[in-house]
Amino acid sequence: MVTVGWNTIRVFLHVVGATIWVGGQLTLAALVPALRALGREPTIVAARAFNRVAWPAFGLLVVTGVWNVLAERDQISGRYETTLVVKICLVAASGLSAALHSRSRSRAGLALFGTLSGATALGAVFVGVLLAG
C-alpha cells in the first residue's frame, strides 16, 4: 500500500470540502423544483439544513486551501501563480454569492446569487484540477 502522509490528508480534506460545497449545491439545485411543488416551507427547511453542512465545508476548503498554498509555496510562480490567483478569486466569489443568496428574499436574488455561487464553485474546481496537473 502507498504510504499515507500529511500531503495525502491535506488533499483528502480539501477534496471532501469541495465535494460537500460544490456537490451539495448541485444536488440542492436539482431538488429545489421538486421541493417547491410541496410548498415554500420544504425548500426553506432543506436550504437551512444544507447550510449547516455547507458553511463548515467552505471553512474546511479555506483552511486546507491556505495549507495547500503553504505546502506548495516553493512551486508558486509564473503561470501557476496566476492560475492560483484565479482560483482564489473564484472561491471568494462563490462564498460571497452564496452568502448573498442565503440573505436574499426575492426570487430574482435567489436565482442570481445561487447561479453565481454554483458557477464560480464549479469554476474553482476546474481551476483546482488545472493546478493539480
Question: What gap in Å lies between CA 124 and CA 126, rounded to an integer?
Answer: 5
pLDDT of residue 133: 83
**DSSP string covering 69-80:** HHHTGGG--HHH
Question: What gap in Å lies between CA 42 and CA 16, rounded to an integer?
Answer: 27
Work out the angle between the directed axes of helices 107-132 and 24-37 (0-180°, nearest 10): 160
Place of cell 490528508: 9
Place of cell 471532501: 16
Cell triple for 37: 411543488
> pLDDT tens per residue, the chain (133 residues)?
899 999 999 999 999 999 999 999 999 999 999 999 999 899 999 999 999 999 999 999 999 999 999 999 998 999 999 999 999 999 999 999 999 999 999 999 999 999 999 999 999 999 999 999 8
